[in-house]
Structure 1
Amino acid sequence: MSISRTALLQAFDSLLQPDRFKDYGPNGLQVEGRPEIERIVSGVTASRALIEAAIAARADAIFVHHGLFWRGQDGRVTGWMKQRLQLLLAHDINLFAYHLPLDAHAELGNNAQLGRVLGFVADARFGEQDLGFAAPAAFANGQALADHVGGLLGRAVTLVQPEEGGALRPIRRVAWCTGGAQGYFESAMAAGADAFITGEISEPQAHLAREMGVSFIAAGHHATERYGAPAVAAHVAGQLRLEHAFIEIPNPA
């Protein structure tokens, strides 16, 4: 069964409501391909490797979290941008990308899906545009939580713990926001978190964690954001009776 590109875009927009968000780039259809779609491939980032895999899978459309176009980037079509666009256009593949709307969706988004994987049931939202999630937790300390997160995500994580005995503080409330959300740390603390999980850490957050008594866990940008895109694409594909496959392109970041 096939569906029109316009109908697929409307389905994604209806679910993710991109107009609600102030974002860093365009959400929705970023590259126009063939008008009829039967097969969708989802992935985290519109890398050349993902595009090549989608071509091999005979996909009509790619659905990602990280698209090709961002506010403030060089607008010239050269180098890596030319290579990716050339592949998409030569094979007439549609590229759909949703950034913050995909992070925020209450059930299928990156934060909701990371919570599902880690076993947290969110009962509050926090931070700019309500992107952050928070939930009750029960861990002996930050190290126990870090071990839990690393074990379920299958990778080593970075843990920064409080000073002066704070490393033994029990974790009764956890907050998280996927990807490069280290700037949400202070909002997480204001929301009552004993620990905060995100993808990356920058220099200031290490000092804040040590001084403020809240553990900080950086679990990987890609690792924390690999669940939303396939969840949304599978949901929409199921509604519209389209084929869908998630393609994992490993990324250590």
Structure 2
Amino acid sequence: MSHNVTRLALLQACNDLLQPARFKDYGPNGLQVEGTDSIGHMVSGVTASRALIEAAIGAKADAIFVHHGLFWRGQDGTVTGWMKQRLQLLLAHNINVLAYHLPLDAHPEVGNNAQLGQRLGLQVQGVFGEQNLGLWGMRADGQAFKNAQALADVVSIVLQREPVVVQTPAREIRQVAWCTGGAQSYFEAAIAAGVDAFITGEISEPQAHLARETGVAFLACGHHATERYGAPAAAAHVAAQLGITHQFIEIDNPA
């Protein structure tokens, strides 16, 4: 049976799980918008968009847990336009917003990278990249993928979208590196780790050339698509620990 907990208890449980103080990040982790002090129902989602906020209001949520919060380094700090609209809804309905960016990517069990690896049947063997956010490993059954397209076929089934693939068709894929979201800049570190393929959410112009020149396949599988799993996993864990209810709300995003 569910009950209500305080905002502080929820925040403490999230911080204990995700350890945000360990990370140098692009925005504030933790409580971004203060709402009601009594929390019985939490909604999770990928991004604190207006669509998610409106859905959370409809679900009578007391708190929203997201990967992409409202505030980022480099914003001009004004509360106008879309920012005003989001904040106006949150404050009018007294809803808390908790956001965890890199800490949610990195958690070894409920994090975005760990959750994606589990779904793709990959067993972690090591880490790479800035702040050790990237993971690399092999299929849990020890088998190799025949080539990059065979890996892409698995990705498309799991994520329900076709990845952009830059590949060497004849190369067997045994070691795979991955880092969700906009981690295309991690490609060189993945190459240095000695892998055969790299999975992330986005691709920029340089990565296509690097993939062709090094023979390491690059799979861009969607920023949102690769980061759908951490927020609900972390929120469900905390909700179960505290005895509150939780639901994940998917707001589709083609990016």
Q: TM-score range by the shorter chain?
A: over 0.9
Tell me, in whole angstroms, the C-alpha distance in 2 between the residues paired with 1:161 and 1:210.
Answer: 7
Q: How much has 1:123 moved relative to structure 2?
A: 1.4
Equivalent in 32, 47, 51 of residue 34 of structure 2:
32
Match of 1:139, SS state, is coil
Match of 2:149 in 1: 143
**Shift of residue 247 of structure 1?**
0.1
Report Cα offsets for 1:35-59 as digits up to 9, x if no partner. 1100000000000000000000000
Q: What amino acid maps onto 1:145 in structure 2?
A: L
Q: TM-score by structure 1 length?
A: 0.98
Q: Give the structure 2 partner of residue 236 of structure 1.
A: 238
Aligned to 1:195: 197
1 CA distance for matches of 2:105 and 2:254? 20
1:180 partner amino acid = G
Aligned with residue 56 of structure 2, among 54, 57, 73? 54
Secondary structure, in 3 states, of the residue corresponding to 2:26?
coil
| Amino acid across the alignment from 1:69 | F
Distance 2:145 2:125 in 1: 18
Could you say what secondary structure the match of 2:124 adopts? coil
| Distance in 1 separating the partners of 2:188 and 2:126 | 16
Aligned mates of 1:122, 1:73 — CA distance in 2: 36
Specify which of 162, 166, 189 is matched with residue 160 of structure 1: 166
Give the Cα separation in 2 of the matches to 1:210 and 1:147: 20
Tell me if 1:169 matches 2:175.
no
Q: Secondary structure at the match of 1:15?
A: helix
Where does structure 1 lack aligned partners over 5 or more consecutive residues? none
TM-superposition CA deviations, 1:52-71 (whole Å, max 9, x none): 00000000000000000000
Q: Once the 2 structures are TM-superposed, how far is the Cα of residue 152 of structure 1 from its aligned partner? A: 1.2
CA drift at 1:182? 0.1
Count of aligned residue pairs for this structure pair: 249
What is the rounded CA distance, in whole Å, between the counterparts of 2:6 and 2:158 in structure 1?
A: 38
Deviations 1:121-179 (A, max 9, x none): 111111100100111141001111111111111011100013xxxx2110010000000
**TM-score computed with the length of structure 2 as normaliser:** 0.97
Separation in structure 2 between the aligned mates of residue 11 and residue 128 of structure 1, nearest angstrom = 26
Q: CA deviation at 1:74?
A: 1.6
The answer to whether residue 222 in structure 2 is matched with residue 220 in structure 1 is yes
Q: Which residue of 1 aligns with 2:46?
A: 44
The one-letter amino acid of 2:136's match is: A
SS in structure 1 at match of 2:174: strand
Alignment of 1:55-74 (within 5 A): 55-74=57-76
Residue 193 of structure 1 aligns to a residue in which SS? Answer: coil
Q: Amino acid of the residue matched to residue 193 of structure 2? A: A
Q: Which residue of 2 aligns with 1:15?
A: 17
Q: CA RMSD in A?
A: 0.6
The residue identity in structure 1 corresponding to 2:86 is R
The letter for the 2-side match of 1:67 is G
- Find the partner of 2:91 among 89, 108, 133: 89
